[in-house]
Amino acid sequence: MSYTAWIISIGNELLIGRTVNTNAAWLARKLTLLGYDVKRIVTIPDSEEDEVEVFRDAIRRGIRVVVSTGGLGPTFDDKTSEYLAEALNRRYVLNDDALRMVVETFKSKGLELTEPRLKQAKMPEGAKPLPNPVGTAPGIWVEEGNTIIIALPGVPAEMMGIFENYVEPKLREVGPKLHFVERSITVKGVPEADLAPIIERGMKMSNRVYIKSHPKGHEIRAPLVEI
């Protein structure tokens, strides 16, 4: 089995530069450490066409894990759950378990369960809600063929809370049985261009090793490279 992964960041605010996409970098790191091969990070608008297309594309390609962030809130443009149902050709329904989570959350805060808030309990038929320990919108776990799709809120604290408490243990269970090890070396006084042939030879020694150089200093005056 190929343990590939896509990260889909959803939101107009990301595309216009209003919000910095820290979620994608955080998720890429997490998935990599779990042994998944992150093949693509995509940022798309809150658009039915774009969301349906990217979810269906991931399924067609047999991507093992797809993690999306954004579009699960109560506002008019939060429609990721609805568009995901369309992409899967499933009904968009009120999930009983998700409803209990949402009711309990708003009840504990002394807030009324309005229609926009109730929307957060709707998801594709057959999906499993993921408890949100920080906010109000449950995450979504749904499987289609060999592909696992996980939809998470765009608020970083909520996304991280759901992922670390409920997603990470599941992905570790169904993921590759391997360990990812990383080492960093700082090289002073040697330009990156001079290190390139050495790095290339190292990469050719094993297809299980990835070596990347990151210049930190001035290439000529004070070369400093992190490998």
pLDDT value for 168: 98
pLDDT value for 193: 80
pLDDT value for 211: 80
pLDDT value for 143: 98
Regions in the chain scoring below 50 on pLDDT: none
pLDDT value for 117: 86
pLDDT value for 1: 75
Q: Which fold has domain 4-174?
A: Molybdenum Cofactor Biosythetic Enzyme; Chain A (3.40.980)
pLDDT value for 190: 78
Strands 122-124 and 92-94, bridge-based pairing: antiparallel
pLDDT value for 220: 64
pLDDT value for 219: 61
pTM above 0.75, yes or no: yes
- Spans of all domains in the chain: 4-174, 186-226
